[in-house]
Structure 1
Amino acid sequence: MTLSDRPAERHRQVAGLFTDRVRGTRSWDVPSPVAGWAARDVVRHLTEWCSGFLASGAGIELPHGPSVDENPVAAWQVHCDGVQAVLDDPETAHRKLTNPHIGHMPLANAIDQFYTTDVFMHTWDLSRATGQDDRLDPDFCAQLLGQMEQMEEVLRSSGQFGTRVDVPGDADTQTRLMGFIGRDPFWSGR
């Protein structure tokens, strides 16, 4: 499936795949490819940081569901639906997000660039942790990798990405993207 270039639709597609992986998770305490995180922590990360990002940068309060510890499936669904509602709101086209690191940018673009791409990459983490299909859209993998490679120094200095993991020269784009963001593309959790 080719992902849309429209923020609301791309979020719907990317979050939909992540939602499928959330619903397919049988054990929330299994380790994930992110050092020190269990599967539950992948959901916790996505639901917590985005809420703060939107509240501080655009004055948007997302709805709160149960805690990730109590019910990760419901916590994700409430959060995901809240983000989608913001993106689907016609007023979002006129709103900006302000952040000291990125300045001012259209709200939908900020959600797309920072949050939706994070959901996309963390889909691999949750899929791999829980033994589900971890294939991601190859075109979007290539797009992200190309953009990130152009600003590698900035990304590495942010502390948000681990040390690049070397992959074979003939590796596919998804494998190269995972290695770039500091994941061992061959991680199996065993």
Structure 2
Amino acid sequence: MSDIATRYRTRADIFAAKIAAVEPGRWSDPSPCEEWTARDVVGHIIDMHAVMLRPLGRSLSPAPSVAQDPLAAFTAARADVEALLDDPATAERKVETPTGNVSVEQHIDQVVSADMVLHGWDLSRATGQDDTIDPAEVEAMWPHVQYIPDEMRIPGAFGPGVVVLGPEVEVPDDAPLQHRLLGLFGRDPNWSA
């Protein structure tokens, strides 16, 4: 199994555990993502799994909707992406993406896999769970997030209705690294509903 596949599985395990820990009455709670509820955060992650399949002419397998069963919906979407990663010929296949021509596994790693880390924080924050991001993840993301291109913060730059990142949130230089990371991603580390 490649490092990318292992990393994806680790992140998916953590995200699935966060979904499983949401108390039933909290799915409509607001999240740090403007206009999204906790359920919408999970729905976005499932939608991004579908985006990983699209360049291959595939779509998500039939599954319960996120409205019916968020965990089952995520588990099914996850299985579809893991099938891509488990087939070396597919994982290494080059596909055209908004950021250029990359392998399927690189696309997964750069988009939906990394998305689960940040949106895992959103889901945790929305539903009152421990929102600590693995410090190794924070350390690994830190060098890259400092060079986010301005177009990533422009609503609609990657298509109608697509918002990749919000404006940077100012965080003190001496704040914990996780807080500084979240600020660069357009999150207020002290957000509360």
Match of 1:35 in 2: 34
Q: Is 1:169 paired with 2:173?
A: yes
How far apart, in 1, do the equivalents of 2:186 and 2:86 lie?
33
Match of 2:182 in 1: 178
Q: Which blocks of at least 5 consecutive residues in structure 2 are unaligned?
A: 158-162
> For the residues of structure 2 that align with 1:93 and 1:74, how far apart are their CA atoms?
24
CA contact under 8 A between 1:43 and 1:72: conserved in structure 2?
Answer: yes
Instruction: Measure, in 2, the Cα distance between the counterparts of 1:37 and 1:115.
Output: 18
* Contact 1:58–1:98 under 8 Å retained in 2: no
- 1:1-190 alignment to 2 at 5 Å? 6-26=3-23, 27-55=26-54, 57-99=55-97, 101-157=98-154, 158=157, 159-189=163-193
- Relative to the length of structure 2, the TM-score reads 0.88
1:104-148, CA deviations, whole angstroms, 9 ceiling, x for partnerless residues?
111101100111001111000001111111111223223323212
Question: Contact 2:53–2:81 at 8 Å: present in 1 too?
Answer: no
Instruction: Give the TM-score normalised by the residue count of structure 1.
Output: 0.89
C-alpha distance in structure 2 between counterparts of 1:39 and 1:65, whole Å: 19
Which deviates more, 27-36 or 141-150?
141-150
- For structure 1, the residue ranges without an aligned partner over 5 or more in a row are none
CA distance in 2, matches of 1:6, 1:172: 28
Flag the 1:77–1:145 CA change in 2: closer, same or farther, 3 A. Answer: same
C-alpha deviations, 1:63-95, integer Å up to 9, x for none? 231111111121111111221222122323431
Q: 1:175 to 1:114 in 2, by over 3 A?
A: same
How large is the RMSD of aligned CA atoms in angstroms?
1.8
Give the conservation status (yes or no) of the 8 Å contact 1:58–1:96: no
Q: Secondary structure at the match of 2:165?
A: coil
